[in-house]
């Protein structure tokens, strides 16, 4: 049977296969009826031969049942869209059909099957009214939703002059097509006013917006519908995505977009870890007496979801993150990848210094390498979009949600009576605030047991556990065959200590900010090996829990330089301290003298022997002239000064000349 036409002839076997209520259910019974009522026949074409009976020669009730039954199957094989080459009107009709609801389309298909049956009967010579009555009767007999002859008549005249390829969209109920004519009156300015008031980030209630709309409508002469009509108009005309953006903001809109599904099948155990801090909803009396809600930092294996290590403190800080990572490295080795948030404690330069894509702090070319890159771990930041982080980027976030640490730790029996509630609106009846807290030891026991329960719970529905294993079992299985990277002593020193970049003075001393200030003073350290070195900036590694012991000094390129010790300022009149300092100074000078002399491979006398002999040039000595400035009134006069030796020679000459003249006069 084609889409548009039913078969005109059927064999007795085919009629039995149709299971018609108006005919016997055996071949012999049908042959008897055909012979008795003189059905028209024709030779059957094909294998087996035989005869086929013409549908037109059968009783009208049989014809009606055939066309009703086969007309429904014909509807199922119809195309659901018009071809692109179809006329524009046809494309518009099919576009309207496609936009209809599933219920509308299903009802249209039911109508189409009935109209096919009517059309076949009419084509077979049955009068239209008789055909409508027959098809209506057979349709209602089948137990389906009853129809009336008048309804069938209306459908028939709706489609009889159209091409059969358009019957289906024409028969679809069009109660939505003329909705505009039945829509309640709403002045356009009033509709714009309501949208501006209701769709804003403050998220006002619908009722209050409608009250303001009524006041504005009364003042401006607007026509407004009922609240239910406006709600339907919102659903009909404003997409849900637009509503979310206008009322809840960009971040809420981004959350509507389907999340990216990632697989961890290609990651080994301990190849990739992620970490985050969790603030407990329980009040604890800390060991220092403070009543607080403590913060725990946890490291988790990405593949198996096992919590590997944790550290707890009053607040999130770099030290707890460092020590928790040290626990992971000591137990399981160094991971290849690590994912954290861009928090101040986690993204601190002591942890991530030198990572080029860190964006919380500036990265200098001479910046000291942080702990994470120093261990050879590739650091990954979680994405921050529209002012908020993407928690789903880290699997550890799921450990804090329902059934996680908030349930296993914060509501542990040992902590009963001190729960702070899940949020500000969900406080237990025995809530005491920060007036009382459970003791520190009980909290630590509850924390340890809760994490053990989290790791040991069976039938975890994750990609790796497959609803059968616990996180512990999955990790033990996969870690046994995973590649392991163990830390060297130098790498462990990086984890055991923090670092600070300081200015080194010429006398080999420096101060650290790590110890804080007391009355404006900081811890001062000295190392004799660094006196007079060329290093202006150095890196000091220290144990934050023991700042008064030795610290280790490195150059900016990571080379070890010396060990420095903390010094204490001496009192002004402390003579013993002065004597001790004088002794150390003498020792320093003596040792330095020995070291300096030992470093000299040649004495100065030996060096002088290698110098070439000195040759003097014979030059006439120029007579020295002396001048004297004599002040005569306001004038100055410069005269040559005769040396005393020359003055004595001239007087002696005059004396000898006088004596010679006297001798000559006396005839001597």
* CA dihedral of 331, 333, 337, 340, whole degrees rounded to 10: 30
Q: Phi/psi class of residue 16: alpha, beta or left (left: φ > 0; alpha: ψ in -120 to 50)?
A: alpha
Cβ(354)–Cβ(370) below 8 Å:
yes
The partner residues of 25 in beta bridges, in order of sequence, read none
The partner residues of 337 in beta bridges, in order of sequence, read 272, 378
pLDDT digits (tens, 9 = 90+) for 330-357: 999 999 999 888 765 555 655 665 555 5
pLDDT > 80? residue 668:
no
| Mean pLDDT comparison of 106-110, 172-176, 177-181, 271-275, highest-scoring range | 271-275
pLDDT band at residue 424 under the 50/70/90 scheme: confident
Cβ(27)–Cβ(50) below 8 Å:
no
pLDDT > 60? residue 364:
no
Cβ(2)–Cβ(164) below 8 Å:
no
The reported pLDDT for the residue numbered 31 is 85
- Taking the C-alpha atoms of residue 465 and residue 452, their distance in angstroms, rounded to an integer, is 17
When pLDDT is averaged across residues 85-91 and rounded to a whole number, the result is 58
When pLDDT is averaged across residues 392-413 and rounded to a whole number, the result is 86
When pLDDT is averaged across residues 528-536 and rounded to a whole number, the result is 86
Helix (H) or strand (E) holding 41: strand 41-43
- Taking the C-alpha atoms of residue 302 and residue 393, their distance in angstroms, rounded to an integer, is 11
When pLDDT is averaged across residues 421-449 and rounded to a whole number, the result is 87
pTM of the model: 0.56
Cβ(479)–Cβ(269) below 8 Å:
yes
The reported pLDDT for the residue numbered 328 is 94
The reported pLDDT for the residue numbered 82 is 41
- Taking the C-alpha atoms of residue 449 and residue 629, their distance in angstroms, rounded to an integer, is 105
- Taking the C-alpha atoms of residue 250 and residue 291, their distance in angstroms, rounded to an integer, is 38
Instruction: Tell me which of 139 and 595 has the higher pLDDT.
Output: 139
Q: What is the average pLDDT value for the chain, to the nearest integer? A: 78
Nearest alpha-carbon partner for 2 in 100, 74, 53: 74
- Taking the C-alpha atoms of residue 460 and residue 466, their distance in angstroms, rounded to an integer, is 7
According to DSSP, the β-strands at 635-641 and 626-632 are antiparallel
* Neighbouring C-beta atoms of residue 573, cutoff 10 Å: 7
pLDDT > 60? residue 368:
no
From residue 186, give the alpha-carbon distance in Å to each of 144, 205, 238: 42, 20, 16
| Mean pLDDT comparison of 131-135, 345-349, 388-392, highest-scoring range | 131-135
The reported pLDDT for the residue numbered 343 is 64
Structure token digits, residue 165: 């390829």
pLDDT > 80? residue 171:
yes
Lowest mean pLDDT among 122-136, 159-173, 646-660: 646-660
- Taking the C-alpha atoms of residue 657 and residue 654, their distance in angstroms, rounded to an integer, is 5
According to DSSP, the β-strands at 284-285 and 438-439 are parallel
Cβ(447)–Cβ(296) below 8 Å:
yes
Cβ(124)–Cβ(55) below 8 Å:
yes
Nearest alpha-carbon partner for 56 in 69, 66, 46: 66
pLDDT > 90? residue 53:
no
When pLDDT is averaged across residues 263-290 and rounded to a whole number, the result is 92
- Taking the C-alpha atoms of residue 51 and residue 40, their distance in angstroms, rounded to an integer, is 10
Please state, for a pLDDT cut of 70, what percent of the chain lies above it.
73
From residue 471, give the alpha-carbon distance in Å to each of 367, 450, 468: 39, 14, 10
pLDDT band at residue 81 under the 50/70/90 scheme: very low
pLDDT band at residue 83 under the 50/70/90 scheme: very low
Nearest alpha-carbon partner for 139 in 166, 120, 111, 119: 111
pLDDT digits (tens, 9 = 90+) for 537-567: 998 888 777 777 788 888 888 788 888 988 8
At 277 the three-state DSSP class reads: strand
pLDDT band at residue 105 under the 50/70/90 scheme: confident
* Domains along the chain with CATH numbers: 9-177 (1.10.10.60), 183-256 (1.10.10.60), 272-479 (3.30.420.10), 497-570 (2.30.30.130)
Cβ(59)–Cβ(39) below 8 Å:
no
| Mean pLDDT comparison of 47-51, 276-280, 655-659, highest-scoring range | 276-280
End-to-end CA distance of the chain: 184
pLDDT digits (tens, 9 = 90+) for 138-154: 888 776 678 888 888 88
pLDDT digits (tens, 9 = 90+) for 291-345: 999 999 999 999 999 999 999 999 888 888 888 998 999 999 999 999 888 765 5
The reported pLDDT for the residue numbered 499 is 78
């Amino acid at each position: 049977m084609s889409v548009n036409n039913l078969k005109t002839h059927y064999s007795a076997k085919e009629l039995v296969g149709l299971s018609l209520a108006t005919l016997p259910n055996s071949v012999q019974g049908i042959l008897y009826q055909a012979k008795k009522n003189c059905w028209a026949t024709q030779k059957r074409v094909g294998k087996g031969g035989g005869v086929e009976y013409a549908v037109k020669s059968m009783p009208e009730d049989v014809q009606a049942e055939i066309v009703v039954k086969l007309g429904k199957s014909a509807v199922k094989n119809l195309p659901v869209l018009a071809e692109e080459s179809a006329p524009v009107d046809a494309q518009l009709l099919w576009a309207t059909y496609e936009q209809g609801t599933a219920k509308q389309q299903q009802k249209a298909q039911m109508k189409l099957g009935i109209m096919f049956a009517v059309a076949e009967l009419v084509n077979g010579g049955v009068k239209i009214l008789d055909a409508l009555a027959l098809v209506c009767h057979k349709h209602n007999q089948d137990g389906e939703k009853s129809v009336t002859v008048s309804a069938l008549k209306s459908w028939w005249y709706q489609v009889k002059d159209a091409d059969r390829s358009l019957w289906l969209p024409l028969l679809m109920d069009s109660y939505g097509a003329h909705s505009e004519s039945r829509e309640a009156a709403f002045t356009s300015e009033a509709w714009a006013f309501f949208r501006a008031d209701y769709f804003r980030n403050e998220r006002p209630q619908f009722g209050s917006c409608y009250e303001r709309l009524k006041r504005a409508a009364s003042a401006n002469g607007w026509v407004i519908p009922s609240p239910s009509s406006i709600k339907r108009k919102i659903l009909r005309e404003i997409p849900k995505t637009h509503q979310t953006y206008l009322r809840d903001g960009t971040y809420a809109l981004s959350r509507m977009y389907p999340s990216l599904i990632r697989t961890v099948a290609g990651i080994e155990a301990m190849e990739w870890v992620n970490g985050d801090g969790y603030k407990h909803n329980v009040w604890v009396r800390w060991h220092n007496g403070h009543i607080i809600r403590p913060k725990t930092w946890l490291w988790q294996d990405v593949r198996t979801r096992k919590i590997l290590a944790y550290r707890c403190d009053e607040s999130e800080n770099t030290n707890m993150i460092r020590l928790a990572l040290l626990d992971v490295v000591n137990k399981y080795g160094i991971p290849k990848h690590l994912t954290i948030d861009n928090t101040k404690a986690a993204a601190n330069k002591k942890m991530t210094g030198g990572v080029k894509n860190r964006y919380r702090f500036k990265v200098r070319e001479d910046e000291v390498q942080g702990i994470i890159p120093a261990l050879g771990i590739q650091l990954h930041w979680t994405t921050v979009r529209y002012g908020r982080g993407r928690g789903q980027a880290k699997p550890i976030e799921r450990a804090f949600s329902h059934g996680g640490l908030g349930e296993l730790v914060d509501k542990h029996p040992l902590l009963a009576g001190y729960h702070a509630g899940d949020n500000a609106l969900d406080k237990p009846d025995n809530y005491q605030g920060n007036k009382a807290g459970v003791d520190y030891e009980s909290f630590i026991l509850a924390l340890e047991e809760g994490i053990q329960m989290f790791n040991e719970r069976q039938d975890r529905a994750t990609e790796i556990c497959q609803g059968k294993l616990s996180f512990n079992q999955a990790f033990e299985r996969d870690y046994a065959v995973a590649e392991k990277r163990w830390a060297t002593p130098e790498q462990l020193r990086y984890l055991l200590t923090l670092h600070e970049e300081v200015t080194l003075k010429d006398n080999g001393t420096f101060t650290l900010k790590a110890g804080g200030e007391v009355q404006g003073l900081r811890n001062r350290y000295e190392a004799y090996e660094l006196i007079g070195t060329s290093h202006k900036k150095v890196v000091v590694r220290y144990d934050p829990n023991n700042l008064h012991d030795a610290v280790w000094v490195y150059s900016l390129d990571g080379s070890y330089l010396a060990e420095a010790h903390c010094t204490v300022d001496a009192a002004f009149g402390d003579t013993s301290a002065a004597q001790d300092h004088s002794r150390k100074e003498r020792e320093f000078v003596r040792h330095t003298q020995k070291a300096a002399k030992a470093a000299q491979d040649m004495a100065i006398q030996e060096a002088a022997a290698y110098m070439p002999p000195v040759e003097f040039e014979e030059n006439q000595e120029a007579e020295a002239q002396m001048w004297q400035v004599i002040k005569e009134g306001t004038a100055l006069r410069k005269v040559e000064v005769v040396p005393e030796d020359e003055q004595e020679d001239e007087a002696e000459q005059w004396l000898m000349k006088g004596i010679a003249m006297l001798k000559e006069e006396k005839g001597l």
